[in-house]
Chain A
Amino acid sequence: MTPSLSELQRRMVGALRHDGALATHPGWNQFALEHVSGNERLSPTEQLEIYREQFWLRHTGSLVEDFPGLSGILGQADWEKLAEHYLRAVTPDSYTLRDLGSRLPELIEGASWLPHQALCLDMARLELAYIEVFDARDTPPLAPERLAAIPEAAFAEARLVIAPSVRLLELRYPVADLRRRLRAESDEPVAIPDESPLQLVVYRRELGLWDMPVSPVAFTFLSGLAAGKNLGAAAETAASTAEAESELGQNIGAWLGEWTTKGLVCDVLVD
């Protein structure tokens, strides 16, 4: 019985996502013979195989373009294994290839076979942050005078709006620096860094992508603001110890000034 158009297409998606040559798979070979015409130069299976091969070339190629640091850590063989594992496990479901790697960190978390798994996870999270920040919504930077104009009595209740082009990452490895070294196109071998936890802010300024390490206290404070807490509540969370309270008290003005100048803050809401 001839399948409906939709049924034919659903089955064909299965063939094109198959992770091996169709000719060696009796089921897909039979599918091709039933539905694809072929010609004097190419068999039905060979015709279908052209599209299957393109699926894998296109998607693995897109992942390596978007995750150069991750592929740099793994090297060709392990990178290919990871990319193929990912494409088997995760259905591409966005109209744009820009979103293809959005679940890569999630997959890496479960990939215990992966060499340098924790380092890879950090790199994938960083590179995903770059992708998201790159074309996030534009927001005009907040004029510093607006911050200065908050009445003292209203300061604790004021909410700073963090720009959509900001991502906050807690990392175990200094992967931003590693990525820069990997991309430097030097012939020198790149050493795998030691574990060295850090808090990193990825942001966009004047269309360029930047990353900036901050202290754990600053990071907690900024995370609170990003979560929608007012200044008082965010500061309270960050000042979890006497030491942290002291650091916050000494630096809060400078931090807010720097973050505003760098475009991390895009609005201030005062009740």
Chain B
Amino acid sequence: MAISQAMKPDLGVGVGLRVPHYAAILRERPSVDFFEIISENFMVEGGKPLYHLERVLEHYRVVQHGVSLGIAGPDEPDRAYLTRLKQLARRTKTPWVSDHFCWSGAGGAHLHDLLPIPYTPEAVRRTVERARMIQDFLEVPFALENTSSYLTYRSSTLSEWEFISEIAERADIGLLFDVNNVYVSAFNHGFDAETFVRSVPHSRIWQIHLAGHTNLGKYIIDTHRGSVIEEVLALYRQTIALTGAVSTLIEWDDEIPELPVLLAEAERARRARDEGLALREGRTLPPAAALATPITAGEKSVWKQGGPRESAASEVSG
């Protein structure tokens, strides 16, 4: 049986493991279905990051999500990076490893961004070939996430949902389906979010992301700041109605609140998930879709995947 065909567990509703919450999590051991870690933050030799990870692994299920693979870039995937990723996957026993449909640099330069890919057959071929290789190398199911994007290319000949669906099917990998990203990109590029949700292969959705965003009027930035807006939750219910119960995660990476606020947001997602499942089972009728977006005045916002790194900056005793 291919790696990707193994049954994917429904882990419930989890939250991103972020540095400001470490102490509260280890002290209070709150009820959380699972944590998602940013792989790169733990691909280190030792010290506090791995210490904290080990403590979390003693009590919680952890899934790995990466931000630096840049699978569709012109350079071949970095073997040293993949080796470290695989070592971490063995440590965490993650049920799958994910990254993004994106590229991140060229000619050795790494821009630390999730840059959008032109939706072309050439990019499909490249991404399929590499996704297969990576899944085989990692020996763990591999999934890619749709990103928020702020530009489109003249050379694109496919829609985003056609692009990611074709790659997932041909590479035999999973989808990490970010419903907020669908909403953000739909606003930014003027496509229909519900069409996106309906058009992807639902059996390949292994995990869902939900997050807040920042609406700057002319475009929306995926800041992972604030609560998930109702319109995104409505889209999420529709997604769950199509996929069934899928592991769902709240990402909150900017202006990170106290842990109870984050956990309350996870409970809000859980209720929406239950409502989506009720829709699927025909127990309720779908609400009217309301995709109008409130405009908020925005300041300059940086999109940050994974919140702050645990770093040396605030340490040091003399």
Contact residues of A with B, CB < 8 Å?
A: 2, 4-6, 8-10, 12-13, 16-17, 34-37, 39-42, 44, 47-48, 50-51, 53-55, 57-59, 61-62, 65-66, 68, 91-98, 127, 130-131, 133-138, 164-165, 176-177, 179-180, 204, 207-212
B contact residues, total (Cβ < 8 Å): 56
Does B110 belong to the interface (CB within 8 Å)? yes
Task: Give the 3 A-B residue pairs with the shortest CB-CB distance, closest first.
Answer: A138-B46, A6-B74, A47-B151
Knowing A131-B311, A134-B315, say if A95 contacts B155 (CB, 8 Å). no
Whether A10 pairs with B107 at a CB distance below 8 angstroms is yes
Main secondary structure of the interface of B (DSSP, over half): loop
Whether B109 pairs with A179 at a CB distance below 8 angstroms is no
Knowing A51-B151, A66-B313, A68-B313, say if A93 contacts B108 (CB, 8 Å). yes
Question: B residues within 8 A CB of A8?
Answer: 118, 153, 155
Whether B51 pairs with A207 at a CB distance below 8 angstroms is yes
Question: A residues within 8 A CB of B303?
Answer: 54
Main secondary structure of the interface of A (DSSP, over half): helix
Whether B311 pairs with A180 at a CB distance below 8 angstroms is no
In the complex formed, the residue of A with least CB distance to B189 is A39
Question: B residues within 8 A CB of A57?
Answer: 300, 302
Contact residues of B with A, CB < 8 Å?
A: 40, 43-51, 68, 73-74, 78, 81, 103, 105-113, 115, 118, 120, 122-123, 126, 150-156, 188-190, 218-219, 300, 302-304, 308-309, 311-313, 315-318
B192 → A minimal CB distance (Å): 15
Question: A residues within 8 A CB of B78?
Answer: 95
Knowing A58-B302, A207-B47, say if A35 contacts B155 (CB, 8 Å). yes
Question: A residues within 8 A CB of B311?
Answer: 65-66, 98, 131, 134
Knowing A41-B218, A58-B112, A204-B47, say if A211 contacts B316 (CB, 8 Å). yes
Whether A96 pairs with B43 at a CB distance below 8 angstroms is yes
Whether B302 pairs with A93 at a CB distance below 8 angstroms is no
A-B contact pairs, 21 of them (CB 8 A): A10-B106, A16-B113, A34-B154, A37-B153, A39-B190, A40-B190, A41-B219, A42-B218, A53-B300, A58-B302, A58-B304, A65-B311, A91-B109, A92-B109, A95-B110, A98-B44, A136-B46, A137-B45, A137-B46, A138-B46, A165-B46
